[in-house]
């Protein structure tokens, strides 16, 4: 008998929703802080573009579209995976990972989908509005295949972020304490909010190379935004989708390897 | 508790007891053995934490480890439907053994088979057939009613609707927590929560149940209720149970057989009563003297436990207790004499101490 993952995940989502609804205050505070944060970023962009007409080839509308895309990606990632990845570290520390390993189903799936942070989804309509507003201002027509590719790349970006953070979290089996990695992660994700081109000039392009080809975090918003409002690089897009699949596989291998270690070391 | 069954239930007699199982499952027949453990050893590598700052800094670069043997070559077999108590002081290796049996950790040496599965292979077919309940841990969603956690279990264990409803009804009725099903777990008392944990562990009708201190910290009423549930469930479903507890009442009420582990070694495996016969070096002699019949040197007979003239309670070596009692009876006027076994708790704690002296070179931890 195989576990029916669709039904399990649906139950996770339902339970998370029931849980979220019992903390109405939490939901409202989160949504409010998301809106404030976005307002702040818009002011930041306005200030930049009052001094210059473009940043490394991105004009203000294109930049807004990039920001909207970044919101979509981080919102989906934040809602579905961010908390689950950190919970893994917590479960390792407390030893409660045992209970997940007892279940007759894939531990990685159980761990990765258990909690949904619905308040994080509030950024989706905000990011979507920003994208549509930018497209209208640009007076740009987009084809159905562009939109399709855009969503494929957004989802690939979410999967890449998930795979990377899941691997970080897996390292808690050896490191136990994870606070420093949380900070590292926060800065890495913040970098992806800006046009990728601005990183080419740092450290002889090393940072750009590392953030595109080693941990492809820089592309998670840039690449889908490029497809819609700027030039489209098919090779880079193909590389991105392939690296998404590869990273997903590697995260799964890393998890299994760590479990072997955890299971022979834990008491 | 209604009997699970219908056309698919298989039942058979073993000795004087009847077992009934729900199919489909690989039904362990008597003689096959539900749990088989042979020469199980588990060694942990533990970071030796140095004292002082400079030593701590040095240990950042060069760690020192020591090997700790948590389980040191234990062997036992448990038949289907048996309820076995697992006793031992903290750190004796009880939890480690339960974790090996659950497939959570690898044994360093030895063979383990449960229901004809090798636990560390962690096959889903095996994981559907057992449950591990830990009294000090919480498996239910804290902020949600228990009913929601149960529904999640239903999906993870692919329990069909009809069966799920029936089992949940039976168990909530048995533990009288039906009206608490829709209350968030965080609002339940410890006893109520533990009952919900037990239901969660039994929802998929496991054949083997590992219970690690299921009554810890509970009040007397809740303890009794959980005990009753376990006894009835074992009787009705023939589930094999391995139970650790610090409360001797749990073991006395539930287990015909007791295994005592200390420093990773099995020091006793048999009925609870034989522990007293084997390990109690003393008996408790209580004397009540008649007026004016008080002897001069009562402390020569044994250690005085309670001094309450004209009554006195003494701990007397087992082999000389009848002789002393007879001598006192003939020499003094006594209104009452009783000879009793010491409380089982005392025997067991003395046993822990004794076996520690038998193996002073062993370092044990990990439970």
Of B47-51, B171-175, B338-342, which one has max mean pLDDT? B171-175
Query: Looking at CA atoms only, how far is residue B305 from chain A in angstroms?
Result: 40
Contacts of A261 in chain B (CB under 8 A): none
Contact A18 B120 (CB under 8 A): no
- The whole-angstrom separation of Cα B122 and Cα B127 is 7
- Distance from the A7 Cα atom to the nearest Cα atom in chain B, whole angstroms: 6
Per-residue pLDDT tens for A12-65?
999 999 988 887 788 888 888 888 988 898 899 999 999 999 888 899 999 999
Q: How high is the pLDDT of residue A241?
A: 95
Question: Which tens digits make up the pLDDT trace of B244-272?
Answer: 987 888 888 899 999 999 889 998 999 98
Q: How confident is the model at residue B7 (pLDDT cuts 50, 70, 90)?
A: very low
Determine whether the interchain pair B148/A15 forms a contact, defined as Cβ–Cβ distance below 8 Å.
yes
Q: How would residue A265 be classed by pLDDT, with cut points 50, 70 and 90?
A: low
pLDDT tens digits, B335-360: 888 888 887 777 877 777 765 444 33
Q: What is the pLDDT of residue A189?
A: 83
pLDDT band at B51 (very low <50, low <70, confident <90, very high): confident
Number of domains in chain A: 1
Q: Are B214 and B243 in contact (CB under 8 A)?
A: yes
Count CB atoms within 10 A of the CB of residue A205: 12
**pLDDT tens, A223-252?**
999 999 998 889 999 999 999 999 999 999
B150 has a pLDDT exceeding 60: yes
- What are the pLDDT digits (tens) for B73-122? 999 999 999 999 998 888 888 989 999 999 998 899 999 999 989 998 99
**Rounded to an integer, what distance in angstroms lies between the CA atom of residue B278 and that of residue A179?**
54
CA distance linking residue B215 with residue B233, whole number of Å:
16
What pLDDT, on the 0 to 100 scale, is given for residue A246? 97
Q: In three state form, how does the secondary structure of chain A look?
A: CCCCHHHHHHHHHHHHHHHHHCCHHHHHHHHHHHHHHHHHHHHHHHHHHHHCCCECCECHHHHHHHHHHHHHHHHHHHHHHHHHHHHHHHHHHHCCHHHHHCCCCCHHHHHHHCCCCHHHHHHHHHHHHHHHHHHHHHCCCCCHHHHHHHHHHHHHHHHHHHHHHHHHHHCHHHHCCCHHHHHHHHHHHHHCCCCHHHHCCHHHHHHHHHHHHHCCCCHHHHHHHHHHHCCCCHHHHHHHHHHHHHHHHHHHHHHHHHHHHHHHHCC
Instruction: Assess whether pLDDT exceeds 50 at residue B367.
Output: no
- Name all domains of chain B by residue range, CATH numbers in brackets: 28-49+63-275 (3.40.50.300), 281-340 (3.30.70)
Task: Identify whether the C-beta of residue A135 lies closer than 8 Å to the C-beta of residue A111.
Answer: no
Order of strands across the sheet that contains B109-114: B65-78, B35-47, B109-114
pLDDT at B29 over 50: no
Cβ of B104 within 8 Å of Cβ of A265? The answer is no
- pLDDT value of position B340: 86
Mutate to test the interface with A, among B156, B197, B202, B203 (most CBs of A within 10 A): B156
Is the minimum CB–CB distance between A18 and chain B shorter than 8 Å? yes
Kindly identify which residue of chain A lies nearest to residue B70, measuring between CA atoms. Answer: A267
Question: pLDDT of A88-139, one tens digit each?
Answer: 888 888 888 999 999 999 999 999 999 999 988 888 998 999 999 999 999 9
Q: In Å, how far from its chain's centre is CA B153?
A: 25
Distance between CA A33 and CA B284 in Å, rounded? 71
Tell me which residue range forms the domain holding A253: 5-265
Could you give the 3-state DSSP secondary structure of residue B33? coil
Model confidence at A262: pLDDT above 50: yes
Q: Which tokens sit at A232? A: 């489209």
**pLDDT for the residue B301:** 82
- pLDDT band (50, 70, 90) for residue B147: very high
Interface test with A, best of B155, B163, B200, B264 (most A CBs within 10 A): B155
Sequence-ordered list of residues with C-beta below 8 angstroms from that of B137, at least 6 positions apart, any chain = A95, A96, A99
Alpha-carbon distances of A186 from A82, A165, A190, B203, rounded to whole Å: 11, 11, 6, 41
CA distance B254 to chain A (A): 25
Tokens 């002889």 locate to A204
């Amino acid at each position: 008998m195989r576990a029916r993952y669709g039904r399990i995940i649906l139950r996770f989502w339902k339970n998370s929703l029931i849980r979220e609804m019992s903390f109405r205050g939490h939901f409202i505070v989160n949504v409010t802080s998301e809106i404030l944060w976005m307002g702040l970023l818009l002011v930041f962009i306005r200030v930049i573009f009052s001094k210059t007409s473009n940043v490394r080839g991105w004009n203000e509308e294109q930049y807004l579209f990039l920001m909207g895309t970044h919101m979509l990606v981080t919102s989906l990632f934040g809602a579905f995976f961010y908390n689950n990845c950190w919970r893994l570290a917590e479960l390792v520390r407390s030893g409660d990972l045992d209970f997940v390993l007892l279940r007759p189903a894939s531990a990685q799936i159980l761990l990765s989908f258990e909690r949904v942070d619905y308040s994080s989804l509030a950024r989706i309509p905000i990011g979507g509005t920003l994208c549509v507003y930018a497209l209208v201002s640009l007076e740009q027509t987009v084809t159905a295949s562009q939109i399709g590719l855009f969503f494929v790349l957004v989802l690939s970006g979410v999967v890449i972020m998930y795979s990377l953070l899941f691997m970080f979290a897996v390292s808690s089996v050896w490191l136990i304490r994870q606070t420093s990695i949380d900070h590292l992660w926060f800065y890495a994700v913040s970098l992806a909010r800006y046009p990728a081109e601005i990183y080419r000039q740092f450290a002889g392009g090393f940072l750009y190379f590392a953030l595109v080809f080693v941990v492809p975090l820089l592309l998670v918003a840039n690449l889908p935004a490029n497809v819609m409002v700027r030039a489209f690089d098919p090779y880079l897009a193909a590389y991105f989708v392939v690296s998404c699949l590869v990273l997903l596989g590697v995260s799964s291998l890393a998890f299994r390897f760590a479990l072997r270690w955890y299971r022979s070391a834990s008491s | 508790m209604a009997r699970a069954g219908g056309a698919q239930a298989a039942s058979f007699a073993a000795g004087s007891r009847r077992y009934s199982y729900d199919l489909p499952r690989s039904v362990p027949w008597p003689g096959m053995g539900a749990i088989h453990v042979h020469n199980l050893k588990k060694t942990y590598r533990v970071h030796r934490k140095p004292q002082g700052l400079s030593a701590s800094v040095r240990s950042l670069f060069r760690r020192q480890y020591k090997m700790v043997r948590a389980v040191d070559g234990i062997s036992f077999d448990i038949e289907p439907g048996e309820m076995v108590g697992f006793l031992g002081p903290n750190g004796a290796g009880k939890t480690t053994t339960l974790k090996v049996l659950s497939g959570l950790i690898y044994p360093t040496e030895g063979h383990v088979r449960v229901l004809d599965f090798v636990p560390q292979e962690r096959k889903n077919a095996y994981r559907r057939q057992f449950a591990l309940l830990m009294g000090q841990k919480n498996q239910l969603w804290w902020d949600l009613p228990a009913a929601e956690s149960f529904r999640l279990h239903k999906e993870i264990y692919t329990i069909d609707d009809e069966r799920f409803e029936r089992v949940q009804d039976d168990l909530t009725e048995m533990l009288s927590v039906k009206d608490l099903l829709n209350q968030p777990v965080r609002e339940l008392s410890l006893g109520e929560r533990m009952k919900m944990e037990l239901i969660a562990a039994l929802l998929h009708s496991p054949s083997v149940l590992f219970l690690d201190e299921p009554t810890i910290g509970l009040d007397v009423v809740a303890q009794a209720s959980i005990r009753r549930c376990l006894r009835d469930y074992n009787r009705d479903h023939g589930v094999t149970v391995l139970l650790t507890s610090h409360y001797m009442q749990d073991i006395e009420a539930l287990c015909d057989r007791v295994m005592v582990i200390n420093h990773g070694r099995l020091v006793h495996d048999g009925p609870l009563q034989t522990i007293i016969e084997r390990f109690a070096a003393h008996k408790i002699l209580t004397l009540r003297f008649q007026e004016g019949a008080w002897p001069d040197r009562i402390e020569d007979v044994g250690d005085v436990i309670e001094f309450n003239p004209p009554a006195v309670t003494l701990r007397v070596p087992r082999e000389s207790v009848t002789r002393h009692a007879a001598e006192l009876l003939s020499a003094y006027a006594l209104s009452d004499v009783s000879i009793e076994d010491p409380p089982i708790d005392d025997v067991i704690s003395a046993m822990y101490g004794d076996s520690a002296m038998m193996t002073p070179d062993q370092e044990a931890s990990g439970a």
